[in-house]
């Protein structure tokens, strides 16, 4: 009973903060900052996808960037060919999800262990990165859309109103959409975790053999979770493609690494932590990066090493420990 009440309270709080941001930011920020905020929102969805796959299904995917990039590319190519972006969005979610399912089939039915999984997913995104880098020239086009190799597809179309091609959303509109989708994905993940599927998934994370002995086919649940995670990452890619445009860097090691870092910094096994970690790390890297103070890779590397060695559970336990030490400081107050 108390658990449910607490869950309801935290959902309301997240919802309130989310809606507040959604309504307030377009009024407070100028256009450039608003587009940046939209990028952050798309990356936050990406962070959620790994938080879900890694934190709750126990699948250490280093390749979320692959699905992220694939979503963006599918959206751009389909958008250029179809003219209308509504179908392109659906494809941009479906294609990475299916690709994740295919990859997952080989990995989960081969029963390879966690670490191999990490290596394989990482390799897939690296190979895709090299593949798309090599697609310069006229030989590489899908329908009307040239893949553009290293340069990507600068003419990535903006999202338009469903059924009304040519009527693209304003930057404000894209921001509203992105923020709304962050909330939708967040609550979608929570609902999924509260469902039977989600609970079996967590049980498998806790003890795969025990879950299998109870009659659950772990491979199917993992495959499902992995595919869902791929779809979410694809959605993030679509939004990202809208703010910037698609290029092979979406598949790069940099993105793969950053996603992991967001989740580690925020805390594995939570959804809010990686969201916060994403925004935090992005703010730090962009501000320090633009100051040219430190090489971004060097910094990301040090953050990663630091958290793994010193704070493996991330920042998520921080509020709890803070509350505890406050209570120790003021023993009279009851929390």
Partner 1 sequence: MASLTLISMGLAVIFGMMRVINLAHGEFLMLGGYAAIVAYNAGMNIWPAMLVVAPLVVGVFGVVMERVLIRRLYGRMVDTMLASWGLSLALIGSVTVVFGNTVSGISAPLGAIRIGRYSTSAYEVLLVGIVGVLLGGGYLVLSRTRLGLIARGTMQNAPMAAALGVSPPAVYAVTFGVGAALTGLAGGLLAPLSGVVPTIGVAYIAKAFITVISGGAAILLGTLSAAALLGSINTATTFLTTPVLGEVALLAAAIVLLRLLPQGITGRFFRRSL
Assign residue 49 a region (left: φ > 0; alpha: ψ between -120 and 50; beta: otherwise): alpha
First to last CA, the chain: 19
Q: Which x/- pattern, by CB under 8 A, does the window 132-151 give for partner 1?
A: -xx-----------------
Site for partner 1 in 277-296 (CB under 8 A): 294-296
Q: Measured between alpha carbons, how far is 100 from 125 in angstroms, rounded to an integer? A: 12
Q: Which stretch binds partner 1 (CB under 8 A): 37-45, 115-123, 177-185, 277-285?
A: 115-123
Give the SS3 label for residue 316.
coil
Residue whose structure tokens are 């990859």:
103
Any contact of residue 183 with partner 1 (CB under 8 A)? no
CB 78 to partner 1: min, Å: 22
Shortest Cβ 281–partner 1 spacing (Å): 13
- What is the closest distance, in whole angstroms, from the C-beta atom of residue 163 to partner 1 in the complex? 37
Coil/strand/helix, residue 195: coil
What angle is formed at CA 185 by the lines to CA 316 and CA 95, rounded to 5 degrees?
A: 120
Q: Which of 116, 154, 162, 195 binds partner 1 (CB under 8 A)?
A: 116
Residue 130 binding partner 1, by CB under 8 A = yes
Cα(144)–Cα(194) distance, integer angstroms: 44
Report whether 225 contacts 42 (CB < 8 A). Answer: no
What is the DSSP pairing of strand 145-146 with strand 141-142?
A: antiparallel
Is residue 25 close enough to count as binding partner 1 by CB under 8 A?
no
| Residue 42: CB minimum distance to partner 1, A | 22
Interface residue list for partner 1 (CB under 8 A): 60, 103, 106-107, 109-112, 114-116, 118-120, 122-124, 126-127, 130-131, 133-134, 253, 257, 260, 264, 294-306, 308-309, 312
């Amino acid at each position: 009973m108390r658990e449910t009440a607490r869950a309801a309270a935290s959902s309301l709080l997240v919802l309130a903060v989310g809606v507040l941001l959604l309504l307030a930011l377009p009024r407070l920020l100028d256009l450039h900052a608003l587009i940046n905020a939209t990028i952050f929102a798309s990356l936050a969805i990406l962070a959620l996808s790994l938080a879900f796959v890694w934190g709750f299904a126990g699948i250490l995917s280093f390749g979320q960037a692959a699905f992220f990039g694939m979503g963006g590319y599918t959206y751009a190519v389909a958008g250029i060919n179809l003219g209308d972006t509504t179908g392109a969005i659906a494809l941009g979610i479906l294609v990475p999800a299916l690709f994740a399912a295919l990859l997952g089939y080989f990995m989960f039915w081969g029963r390879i262990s966690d670490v191999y999984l990490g290596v394989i997913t990482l390799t897939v995104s690296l190979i895709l990165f090299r593949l798309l880098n090599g697609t310069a020239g006229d030989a590489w086009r899908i329908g009307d859309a040239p893949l553009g190799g290293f340069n990507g597809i600068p003419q990535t179309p903006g999202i338009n109103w469903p059924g009304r091609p040519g009527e693209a959303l304003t930057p404000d509109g894209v921001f509203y959409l992105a923020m709304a989708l962050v909330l939708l994905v967040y609550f979608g993940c929570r609902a999924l975790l509260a469902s039977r599927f989600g609970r079996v998934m967590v049980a498998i994370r806790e003890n795969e053999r025990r879950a299998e002995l109870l009659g659950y086919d772990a491979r199917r649940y993992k495959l499902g979770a992995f595919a869902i995670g791929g779809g979410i990452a694809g959605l993030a890619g679509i939004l990202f493609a809208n703010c910037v445009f698609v290029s092979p860097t979406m598949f790069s090691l940099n993105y793969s690494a950053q996603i992991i870092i967001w989740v580690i910094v925020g805390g594995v096994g939570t959804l809010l932590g990686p969201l916060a970690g994403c925004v935090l790390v992005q703010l730090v890297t962009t501000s320090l990066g633009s100051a040219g103070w430190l090489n971004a890779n060097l910094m990301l590397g040090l953050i990663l090493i630091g958290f793994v060695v010193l704070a493996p559970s991330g920042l998520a336990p921080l509020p709890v420990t803070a509350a505890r030490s406050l209570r120790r400081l003021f023993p009279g107050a009851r929390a």
